[in-house]
Amino acid sequence: MSNPKVYAKKSVLDADNKLVDRYIGVDPAHPDVVYADRTSANGWEAIELKPTGKGFSAWFIDAKVCLSLDQFGNFHTRASAGGDETFFCTNQPDGSALLYRFQNDAALVEPVLTLEGIK
C-alpha cells in the first residue's frame, strides 16, 4: 500500500457550516508542527504508508517524520513509530480509503482521515 503520492485530508466545517476537506502536512523547516488547513496538496503534504506489526505508520516524505495522533485527536510528529503512530487503512465501497487509529485497541480516535492517491 506504500505510495509516495498519497495525501491525507481531514473533513472540517467551513465558515458557512459546509463540510470541506483540508489536507494535512508538515513543513520540513518546522517538523514538529502538523498543519491541517491546506485546500490543495503539494510536496509537504505527501505521505508514505509503511507497514508495522499491526497496521501502518504514515510518514511525511519531505519532513521525514511520522504522523502521530494522540487520544484527544491532536496531530503530532515523531521520529519513530509507536502506539500513537499506528494506523489502520480500509477501502470503502465508494472507492475512498480511510486512515484511522484506535486507542488501547478499542476506542476510535478522531479524526478519521481520507486518503487520496491509494491505488
Range of the domain at 80: 6-116
pLDDT of the residue at 119? 62
Instruction: Please report, for the domain that includes residue 10, its CATH number.
Output: 2.80.10.50
Check pLDDT > 90 for residue 109: no
Residue 93 resides in a domain:
yes
Is the per-residue pLDDT at 1 higher than 60? no
Residue 18 included in any domain: yes
- Taking only the tens place, the pLDDT of each residue in 25-38 is 999 999 999 999 99
Residue 2: per-residue pLDDT: 46
- The count of domains in the chain is 1
Weakest mean pLDDT among 78-82, 91-95, 112-116: 91-95
pTM to 2 decimals?
A: 0.88
SS (H, E, C) the chain: CCCCCEEEEEEEECCCCCEEEEEEEECCCCCCCEEEEECCCCHHHEEEEEECCCCEEEEECCCCEEEEECCCCCEEEECCCCHHHCEEEEECCCCCEEEEEEECCCEEEEEEEEEECCC
In-domain check, residue 1: no
